[in-house]
Amino acid sequence: MSSPSAVFRTSRLEQTASPRGRPIGAILLANGNLGAGDAVFALAEALRSGAALPRVLLAEDLASPGQVLDAQALHYGAMTLSSAQTPPDDNLVDAITPEACLKLSALPWMWIGETLVVATSRPETFDKVIDQLPGQAEHVAMALALESDIQGVIARRHGDAMARRAETQVPADESCRDMDSMSPAQALLGAGFGLGCLWMLYAHPSLFFGSATVLALVTLLFAQGLKLAALLAGWRRPRAPRGALLSRHMRFPLFPFWFRSFARNASPAA
C-alpha cells in the first residue's frame, strides 16, 4: 500500500504553529474574499449538512473556485496545479481507474524525483486516494487543483471509453440502444406494407381512404379512453395501509412537575 511522503505526514503538525495552518474561513476573511456574515452562514451550513466548508462556499457561491483553492493551498501547505500551466504526465494515465478519479476528485499528476504528486480538489479525503495508488508509489505528495480541471483531464483521456462502457453496460436484450437499427425481417415487412398501401391507393382509393379514416377513429377512441381512465383513477380513494400502524411510546420527565405539585399541596398556605 502506498504511504504519504514524510513531508506530507508531518505537514499538519508543522502547520499548527505557522500561518499556513489557519482555518480556510479565516484565510478567506483575512484576504477580503469572504464577509463575516457569509463566513458564519457557511460554517453553520457546513455543520448542519456535514459537508466540508470549501464545498459549502462553492455551492452557495460565497467565494470563487480560485479563491477557495488558494485558501486550501495555504491551509494544507500544498502546491496548486493547473493543466494549462503544468500538463499532467500521460504515463500516469492508468495509475488509478477513471471511475475512482471521478469519485475521489483526484488525479495522479506527475513525478518529482521518487515522489508521486497527486492532485485533488478534496484534500480532506486524500487518505482514500492513497489507498487506490499502485504499490510502486512509495512516496506520495498532495497537490491541489480545481475540480473542473481534474474532470476536464479525465474527460479528454477517458471520455470516449467511459461513454462506450456506459452505453453497453446494460445487456442488449434489455436495452433500447438498437431502436434506430432495423433487422432484415423488419425491413421486408415494412417494404411489403408500404407497397400494399400504394397498390390499394391505386386500385381501390375509396377503400384506402376509408381504412385510413377507420384507423384514425379507432386511435382517437383509444386515446380518449386512456384519458377517461386516468380521470377516474384520480377519484379513487387511497388504499388502506397494509398491516397495523407501528406503535410509538413517548416518555416525559414528570418528576419535577410532581415534586412541585407535592410541595404546594404540603405547604401550610395550601
Question: For the segment 139-152, what is each residue's pLDDT rounded down to a tens digit?
Answer: 889 999 999 999 99
3 alpha-carbon distance from chain centroid: 28
**Residue 188 near residue 195 (C-beta atoms within 8 A):** no
Q: Where are the domains of the chain?
A: 3-164
Percent of the chain exceeding pLDDT 70 equals 80
Of residues 106, 111, 100, the one with CA closest to residue 136:
111
Q: What pLDDT score does 138 carry? A: 77
Phi-psi region of 235 (alpha: psi -120 to 50; beta: other; left: phi over 0): alpha
Cα dihedral 88, 64, 31, 127 sign: negative
What are the C-alpha distances in Å from 196 to residues 96, 104, 193, 202, 204?
A: 59, 60, 5, 10, 11
Cα dihedral 89, 93, 96, 100 sign: positive
DSSP line for 39-79? HHHHHHHHHHH---HHHHHHHTTSS-HHHHHHHHHHHHT-E
Q: What is the 3-state secondary structure (H, E, C) of 98-148?
A: HHHHHHHCEEEEEEECCEEEEEECCHHHHHHHHHHCCCCCCEEEEEECCHH
Q: Between vectors from CA 175 to CA 172 and to CA 181, what angle results, nearest 5°? A: 75
Summarised one tens digit per residue, pLDDT across range 81-101 is 988 898 998 888 888 888 999
Q: What pLDDT score does 201 carry? A: 87
Summarised one tens digit per residue, pLDDT across range 18-70 is 556 788 888 888 888 888 888 899 889 888 988 888 888 988 889 998 899 99
105 has a pLDDT exceeding 80: yes
User: 3-164: what fold?
Assistant: GMP Synthetase; Chain A, domain 3 (3.30.300)
**Report field, pTM of the whole predicted structure over 0.85:** no
260 has a pLDDT exceeding 60: no
